[in-house]
Amino acid sequence: MRDEKLAAHLFRHQYGRMVSILTRIFGLAQLEMVEDAVQDTFAKALLSWRNKVPENPEAWLVAAAKNRAIDLLRKAKSDQFRIGKVPSGPATVLLNELFLENEVEDSQLRMVFTACHPALKPTEQIAFALKTISGFGIREIASALLLKEETVKKRLSRARKTIVQRSISFAIPNASELPARLDRVLEVLYLTFNEGFHSNNKAILIRRELCGEAIRLCRLLLTKESLRTGKVYALFAIMCFHAARLDSRVDGDGEIVDIKHQDRSKWYLPLINLGHSAMMKATTNGQYSAYHYEAAIAAEHLRAETFEATDWTQILHWYDQLLTLQDSAFTRLNKSVVLMQLGDFAQAKKILDDLVVGELAQRKYLYHSAYAEYYFLTGHPQAALKSINRCLELVNSEPEKRYFERKKTGYKSDR
């Protein structure tokens, strides 16, 4: 059992590395074969390690996957799998260099840009990234993205087919293409982290593995000098700041704890410091993105020693700056909540009245929870109950539903 757990742990952490290295060797046209080779390697590991785990299991897995892929290619009969002679002799030295750590990182970055290629549909990009880079299984991806397993399989199949049909190169984009391509990579990582931080999963609010994977991949971008832009550092800061609060967002029973009642001693200082360091680097060129302002908002919450000490005026300023770059319904909704904290209920209500609720999509229940809070704070308990009931009708997450039920009880008791 211990060895099976070790293999599962290594699979999650080594899968993307191995797929990326082998894809760089054999090409994207062979991606399905490469993934099968890696799967076969782990199945072989489970059998081989029953008696004794090798001293360096990571090296064992990489060598075994490489040998398995070469074996499959040599045996392939169909023209669609022919890619020429597999390197041997002096060329093998060059091949082996691809397994050095800096080359492994380069291969993974190539896979990141492949997964986020504009030729792939946005719905395919996240699923493809989670599969090929992060080692998520079909069932895990389906659970994380609230999809049927068959839907995930179809998206992955379409992505692989598009990559082959469009002859997408396994490369980091050139200088002229890099800014736009990097923006899309950051969007995918941002969405992945957010799904982990506030999951759409019905039963689980936080998916730590998604948060951790998004942070890992964002940090991977920062290993390459040409990718160290202000936006990348700012996104990394956002992730660090939010991840620092994960332990305080739910209690021992898995119930949601809002920021007002969170135990701030549980906020993880090393991640906060890492986020501040990233923000220092993010602001060196004086150019600011939406990620910069979101990070600034998160930093203000972390800076306050208590909820009552929060500088809501400064947070309002950052939201106003954010709206100049990203005028979204969700940002306006958050601004209305900040205005309530400042006692500006008239302006908060105006924002809520003007919101196009449909633009909040799966999160539109938050609109009704905000209105419930507005009515409660302005002395209209019956209206507050009506709004919180509407929120409860729309919310999908069981932990959030229980949280809003507790809010409802509070509204009743204060009538």
pLDDT in tens, 275-284: 999 999 999 9
Write the pLDDT tens digit of every residue in 173-209: 999 999 999 999 999 899 889 888 887 667 777 788 8
Write the pLDDT tens digit of every residue in 34-80: 888 888 887 877 787 777 788 888 788 777 777 776 776 666 544 44
pLDDT > 70? residue 211: yes
Measured CA distances, 152 to 140, 142, 229, 313 (Å): 10, 6, 32, 44
Using CA atoms, how far apart are residues 386 and 69, in angstroms rounded to an integer? 61
At which residue do the structure tokens 């840009």 appear? 113
Mean pLDDT for the stretch of residues 111-121: 93
**What residue type is 166 in one-letter code?**
R
- The tokens describing 394, both together, are 């729309």
Write the pLDDT tens digit of every residue in 218-228: 999 999 999 99
pLDDT band at 401 (very low <50, low <70, confident <90, very high): very high
Write the pLDDT tens digit of every residue in 300-330: 999 999 999 999 999 999 999 999 999 999 9
0.85 exceeded by the pTM? yes
Burial class (CB in 10 A: 0-12, 13-18, 19+), 114: buried
Using CA atoms, how far apart are residues 152 and 142, in angstroms rounded to an integer? 6
At which residue do the structure tokens 């991949």 appear? 217
pLDDT band at 391 (very low <50, low <70, confident <90, very high): very high
Burial class (CB in 10 A: 0-12, 13-18, 19+), 388: buried
Give the pLDDT score at 76.
58
pLDDT > 70? residue 249: yes
Give the pLDDT score at 208.
87
pLDDT > 90? residue 95: no
Q: Bridge partners of 256?
A: 250
